[in-house]
Every structure is written in C-alpha cells, then in structure tokens.
A = this chain, B = another copy of it.
Amino acid sequence: LCGLVLKIWRFLYNAWNLGVAEPKKVIHGVKVGLSLLLVSFFYYMRPLYEGVGGNAMWAVMTVVVVFESTVGATLCKCINRATGTFLAGSLALGVQWIANKSGETFEPIIIGISVFLLASATTFSRFIPSVKTRFDYGAVIFILTFSLVTVSGYRVDRLFELAYQRLSTVAIGTSLCIFITMVFCPIWAGSGLHDLIVCNLEKLADSLDGCVGECFKDDKAKLGNEEGPSKRMQGYKCVLNSKATEEVMANFARWEPGHGRFNFRHPWKQYLKIGASMRNCAYCIEALNSCINSEIQAPDCLKKHLSDVCMLLSTNFSEVLKELVIIMNTLTKSSKIELLIGEMNFAVQKLQDSLNSVPNSFIGPTVSTIQAPNEANRETIPKTAIPSLMDVFPMASLVYLLIQIAARIEGIADA
C-alpha cells in the first residue's frame, strides 16, 4: 500500500513538473474543459435544448473527440469531421431511398451489402499514403456516419431529420472548437515547427562547438568540468530523433490560416528539407563523436599543429549556424550569411593546406627514424594520422551540407 501511495505521489509530482515546465499544456486542458462547459449549456437551457433535442450529445461528443492541442490539428479534424459527416450522410440517404423502393425483403440486404462494401473500401483507402496524411480521420467519420444513418434508417422513420440533426450538432461542436482554440491562447503547429527547427539549429551549433572543442582540449581541462559540455554535446541526438515530430507538425501546419509572422501558404515543406539537412549534419557529428571517444588518440604535436585551424573552422561553423538562426527568426534574407559562408570555405581551404603541410613536418622527423626502423615508431604514424584526418572528413562533408542548407534557407527567406 505504501508503495502505491509513493507511486501516485511521484506521478503527481511528475505531472506538476510537466505543468510548470510547459504551461501551454495546462492551458490546453483548461480550454477543453471550457468548451465542454459551453457545449453542456445546450442541456441546461430549455430553449437551446428544444432546438436540437437529445441529439445535443453529438455536439458534446464532437468537442471531446475533435479538440487537439494545436490549432492546425483541431482545424484538420474539424474539416475532416464536417466533410465526412456531410458526404456520408447524403450518400446514406441515397442508399436508404433506393433500399426503401426495392421492397421489404431486399431492404436489409441492400443496406448490408452497401455498408460492407463502403466500409471495406474506405478502410483500405486509409492505408494509401496521400489519404492517410490528410484525410485519415475523415475516413473514419465517413464510415461511422454512413453505417449509423443507413443502419438506423431501418428502424427510425424520420431519417432525414436524424441526418439533419446530426449534421447541425456536428457543425455546432466544430464551430465552438474552432472558436475556442483560435481565440484563447492559440497554440499554432506552425510556430511550434518553426521553434523546433530553430532550437535544433542552435543545438547543432552547440554540439558541433562542443565536439571540436573536446577534440582539441588539453588533458587538464578534460578532468575538470565534464558535465556541462557533454550535455551540450548530446544536443545533436535530439536532431537525429525529431523526424517524426517534424512531419506531423508540418502536416498540421498546412491547415492553419496565416498567423503572426507566417502567411497562409508559408512553405512548410521547406522546414522538412532543413530538418533533413540538419539530420545529415547530425550523422556527421555522430561519426565525429565516435572517433573522439575511440581509444586511439592523436599525439599532442599533431593536435597542436591542427588545433588552430580546426578551432577556427568550428567557430566559423557555429557562426554560420547562428546566423541561420537569426535568418530563421527574422524570416529575411541576410547578406551577412554569404560573407560567413565565404569565410567558412576559406577556413576549410586553410585546413586542407595545413593538412598538406603535415606530412612535411611529420615525415621530416620520421625520415630519420625510418632509416633506423623501430617498432614503436611504425605504429605512431598511422595512429597520428587517423584522428586528425577523421576530423577533416566529416567537416568537409559538413561544409557541403551547410552550404546546401544555406541555399535552402535562402529559398525560404524569399518566400
């Protein structure tokens, strides 16, 4: 029993923390409660109740099922629900009319077959990708309304009234949802997507910085503050795993009207492209990271030789990324970014040059030792070369990726 109490207490504690961390979620909960309260007025007020009758429960149901945390998701579900109900209702009335005309024995057979066929076909269509992303919920509602109207048509006489009432209560529910979700503290999927991408860009810059810093850090500093930077370095893992979230959000963002700084036809698909490029960068950082954590370490002399150039390059990288963050936030094209990319490319060139000069400074001394070959030295050379060259390669690919991103962002800035 004590364990159970402890468990519940911990659950509540977690919930409280979540609420404090993200007040948006609490607000969403309050909004749902508010709209349910409003909808239940249909029951409390006699004139309203007499207008729609016992079917007022459809309005309650619509509110509960349709209300989602972002405006885009709610709009998407509302439109789906309304369209699905309307289409299925009219189709069901047609089928019912035909069934009625064909006599009492055929009526259940015709209705049964039509329900079976339409339900199977619609359920199958939910697997088609283009339907799935946009009209998944609409298909469910279509099946639901169609089977309810046709099947109850067998027993209920005033079928037309039933369909009409269902449609009108759904309309009341959806319009209330849209009103509440857009007027009181709206949570936009589009803004959420934008913030996510910007935040991921920042994390990427941080972890790239941290990684390269880690690579060329002195051993003294390594023993010191381990916690802080390693947390920052893990930022890229969020980037790796954010694909599904981004896609869902972009899908909902398309349904949203213009809000804040975003127009109606804001190019949300571009955000997915940026996300993909960022994930490519994150793969590179992952590779870089695994080579930092590997056992073989570059000797200090080589590190020193390359550290200046690499640090310069990494500074350039994060400058470019941070400039991209600024561009994203202001949604304008910046001339500074081209300057920074130019600088970055120059730094890459410099790194390549200094790599080319490495063999001279290292093979120079090696020449003497090879003439007196000893085992220890033979092993030093490949090990020396490995980490530094490994650093270069992901970076070189990073540069290309960054340039790609930059080009894409410019496309957005135009839009």
Contacts and interface: CB of A to CB of B under 8 A. Distances in A.
Chain A at the B interface: SS class: helix
A262 interface: no
Nearest to A154: B43
Interface string A282-300: 0110110011001000000
A414 to B, nearest CB: 29
A125 interface: yes
Interface in A1-51: 11, 14-15, 18-19, 22, 25-26, 28-30, 32-34, 36-37, 40, 43-44, 49
A151 interface: yes
Interface stretch (A74-82, A113-121, A168-176, A266-274): A113-121
B359 A382 contact: yes
A28 B60 contact: no
Contacts of A148: 57, 60-61
A225 interface: no
A155 B284 CA distance: 64
Interface string A358-380: 11100110110011010000110
Interface in A347-401: 355-360, 363-364, 366-367, 370-371, 373, 378-379, 381-382, 385-386, 389-390, 392-394, 396-397
A162 to B, nearest CB: 10
Contacts of A385: 385, 389
B397 A294 contact: yes
A294 B363 contact: no
Interface stretch (A139-147, A198-206, A332-340, A403-411): A139-147
A286 B123 CA distance: 37
Interface string A204-248: 000000000000000000000000000000000000010110000
A152 B60 CA distance: 10
A117 B30 CA distance: 8
Size category of the A interface is: 35 or more
Contact of A367 (B123, B128, B367): B367
A403 B151 CA distance: 59
B29 A124 contact: yes
Contacts of A121: 29
A14 B128 contact: yes
A339 to B, nearest CB: 25
A65 interface: yes
Question: Chain B CB within 10 Å — which of A32, A40, A284 has the most?
Answer: A40
Contacts of A144: 60-61, 64-65
A177 interface: no
Nearest to A387: B393
B155 A49 contact: yes
B119 A36 contact: yes
A346 interface: no
A208 to B, nearest CB: 15
A365 B355 CA distance: 20
B108 A44 contact: yes
A127 interface: yes
A64 B15 contact: no
A112 interface: yes
A163 to B, nearest CB: 13
Given A115-B37, A144-B61, A366-B363, A128 B18 contact: yes
Given A40-B147, A382-B389, 4 more contacts: A60-B148, A290-B397, A360-B378, A363-B370
Q: Lowest 8 A-B CB distances belong to which pairs?
A: A29-B124, A33-B120, A244-B244, A287-B287, A33-B116, A29-B120, A29-B123, A33-B119
18 contacts: A25-B124, A29-B120, A29-B123, A32-B119, A33-B117, A36-B119, A36-B143, A40-B115, A40-B147, A57-B151, A57-B152, A60-B148, A61-B148, A287-B394, A356-B379, A360-B373, A363-B370, A385-B385
